[in-house]
Amino acid sequence: MKSGVKIRVLALLGALMLVLSLASWSMASDGAAGAETVEQVEAHVGDENMEAQGHGHGVTEGQLHDFILRCVNFGLLVIILLVLVRKPVKNALAARSEGIATELDELARRKEEAARELAEMERRLRDAQGEREAIVAEFRAQGEREAQRIVEGAKAMAQRIKDQAQFTIEQETNQAKLELRREIADLSATVAGDILREQITADDRARLVSEYLTKVEQEVQ
């Protein structure tokens, strides 16, 4: 881009120098024409006055010559500018077009990249949503299993306590019954002994004692 600008500047300077040269040449031509003799000028003036009287305000030969030189100068300037500036301008336009195309490609690439990133983010959000639902379901299942385990443990513990209490009650009941039987047996033996001592003979006492002992042994077993 810098070289193209440099070329354009040089071309414009060259064209300007050429125009100035042509203008100087035109002025020199006009000066040479002005160096005519007084007689020629007077003759020309007389001719021009006659032509002016006959034709009104017509275009003189000097004016026509100057106009032609100006047209030639302008045409040469246009041609020089076209020749010198066409290629740099063409290159500049091509470079600009290429730059615009590159920018458009870059924008398209960024758009595609943004679309891919958006799709990736949406996929991650969907995956995160699925993972969250899976985690919640797993925690819910774990909570239900833990609650079931606690309930079953509580039921088992209650059953063990119930069984232990039942066993303890049965043991205490049996022990109380055994002690009560022993007390009754002792009391019965005492009362019976008193009665027997008063009413029965020695043989009867021996038989009763033997029967009592046998009965007590059976109850203890």
pLDDT tens-digit map of 198-211: 666 667 767 777 77
Residue 78: phi and psi, rounded to 5, are: -65, -45
Helix (H, G, I), strand (E, B) or coil at 59: coil
* CA 79, chain centre distance (Å): 59
pLDDT at position 213: 73
Band (pLDDT 50/70/90 cuts) for residue 221 is low
Number of residues assigned to the chain: 221
Domain count within the chain: 2
Domain span at 184 = 174-220
**Claim to verify: residue 99 and residue 13 sit in the same structural domain:** yes
Question: Does residue 60 lie within any of the structural domains?
Answer: yes
Last residue of a domain, one of 68, 86, 107: 107
**Claim to verify: residue 94 and residue 189 sit in the same structural domain:** no
Question: Does residue 202 lie within any of the structural domains?
Answer: yes
Question: Does residue 165 lie within any of the structural domains?
Answer: no
Which contiguous run of DSSP H or E holds residue 177?
A: helix 61-199
- Residues 194 and 49: their CA atoms lie apart, in Å, by 199
pLDDT at position 75: 77
Question: Does residue 121 lie within any of the structural domains?
Answer: no
Question: Does residue 156 lie within any of the structural domains?
Answer: no
Question: Does residue 11 lie within any of the structural domains?
Answer: yes
Does residue 50 have a pLDDT over 60? no
Question: Does residue 167 lie within any of the structural domains?
Answer: no
**Claim to verify: residue 12 and residue 100 sit in the same structural domain:** yes
Does residue 146 have a pLDDT over 80? yes
Q: Mind giving me the DSSP string for 17-39?
A: HHHHHHHHHHHHHHHHHHT--HH
Last residue of a domain, one of 107, 122, 150: 107
Q: Return the minimum-mean-pLDDT range out of 36-45, 67-76, 138-147.
A: 36-45
**Claim to verify: residue 186 and residue 99 sit in the same structural domain:** no
Question: Does residue 159 lie within any of the structural domains?
Answer: no
Instruction: State in Å, rounded, how far the first CA of the chain is from the last one.
Output: 124
